[in-house]
Amino acid sequence: MFQMTVVRGWSSCVTTDYYSARWTDQAPSTIYIHGRNNDPDWVELKVGAYLECGENDHMPDPTSLSIDFFSDSKFQCAIATYNFSQNEVVELAYSASSYIGGKYRYVLKLAYDHIRLDVGYEYNGKFVLKRATYCSLSPDRGSVFDADTLFNPNPLVHGVQYSSLRANVTIGSNSERWFSPAPFCFPLKQRDGKWMSVSPAPTVDELDFSGFSNKPCFGGECAFCLDYTSEPEYEGYLHLPELVFRFDAESEFDALKRYADGLVELGRIEPLTRTKADWWRGVMVCGWFAQGGTKNCTQQLYESHVAKYDELGIDWDMLTIDDFWGKAHGIWQVDEEKWPDLKGFIARQHEKGRRVLLWVCVNPTGLEDDEVYIDAGHRLLDPLNPKYIKRVYDSFQYMLGSGEGSLDADGIKLDFTGAVPKPGEAKCTKRLYGMRYLYELYKLFHDAAKKAKPDCLLDYQVANPHFAKFHDMTRLNDYFLPIEIALPVMTVRAKVAHSVTFGAEVDTDHPGSVEYYENSYKLGNMSLYISNKNLEGNGENIDAIRRTIRDHIKPAKG
């Protein structure tokens, strides 16, 4: 149960076990959110949002803002307290007119364990959306958050994922793409040591955005934005993804888990119960550093590479044949000049109890234009194209199938993901925008792969609850920082992945140091990217690998 107390002509308050929210009749569009023990305000929330469409015409006129929630007859008592169950929501409704004649409707939904800002915009005509900004009614003003730290769940090339709200941070396809995408959620550390989070909660149909960002404003205020870099066009009515505020998390990773679980509770994504093959856990070997480039991805090289591991007594389980065993990106057919007997190579690994993943990417270099999504000269795969869909199903049957004419590989490592359609004229089966494009692409790959081999392993560089059902493993992705800080940096990445992917396995990727080899198994699967030269010449690392496998990963064999 939770309560709402109304004193007409003065103030109102909603109180739950997670927060209290209060506002006055004189300024009802400013909501003060704080703890239950007369804590300082966590948030001074400005109820509102606006669309940027290239011009300011669609901006709301602040003088037109009206408050509708007191029109309900049950709120007409001078002083009253109302009780609500944990499944109910208190809705505070507002409206405003845009300068061009459109109509905004804002509904602040006060639920038992969170608050949601719902935004709709009605306009008699077409409009192209470039950005939607929440918690604000004007470009230079926002809301006040009593938080001294913002955690960015998207890994960065410089490794720093903590900043203040005064730094502009973006999660999505138009930022660094180590996770493509990372979770659409910003955990904020409050000055009392607790963590809150701010996140959109889109349905699948509302995934047209390409990024989620904070927007520092005047005087330390802050707004939050959905970036629509694909510039989708709407007509008549647009409903934005609700913006959700959650409170009282113990850590940034607890906040991320609550965000992911909350999407299920709100019905934005389906509950996910994973069925895993036993072989998905173990020691992974990737040949990228051994081959040292695309041209050297040959059977001869890989035969020598796996032989080196065997000579050194390293007990491994999964091998990834990297970029590229085929002739052209987009055409997933073996290049027999480089791989005269790939099927036989895979079969020999199976005889030794090992599995083989094949590297694939989304680069459509080898495809004809009638299978490609083209916008402004930008070529992408077209996931809704019937001809391309058939190619994908046929290709996965060829790669993963066990019958004659198939390679009988065990899964894929998917790379180069993150690009989304650009604005402007497009040649495609159906226009797709932002993250909705990635959703359809990942869905196609998943469905085709699982049809060919239900227990295949899909290793993607994705850590986002909206896409979790389309992959089995999150790859932590490339590491280019000093090796001395590899473990803490990759630990953060792994904690993000574990928080939001509902039990997906983790590929810990390629940092090569004694410390990382001794500890990466705690984060997920040990992943070995080592050249033949370094296998021969770095005894300290090899000893650490063997010791960790013997003592921790496969102790029964020790």
pLDDT at 338: 97
Distances (CA, A) of 388 to 3, 365, 415: 55, 14, 18
CA atoms within 13 A on the CB side of 2: 21
Per domain, the residue ranges of the chain are 2-265, 280-316+461-558
Distance CA 133, CA 142 (A): 9
CA torsion sign for 361, 363, 368, 370 is positive
DSSP code of 316? -
* Residue-level pLDDT at 72: 61
pTM: 0.96
2-265 placed in CATH 2.70.98: yes
Intervals of the chain under pLDDT 70? 38, 69-78, 173-177, 557-558
- pLDDT of res. 173: 64
Q: Say what the pLDDT of residue 481 is.
A: 93
- Predicted pLDDT at 557: 61
CB-count burial class (<10 Å; 0-12, 13-18, 19+) for 68: middle
pLDDT tens-digit readout, 510-557: 999 999 999 999 999 999 999 999 998 788 999 999 999 999 999 876
pLDDT of residue 199: 98
pLDDT digits (tens, 9 = 90+) for 137-152: 999 999 999 999 999 9
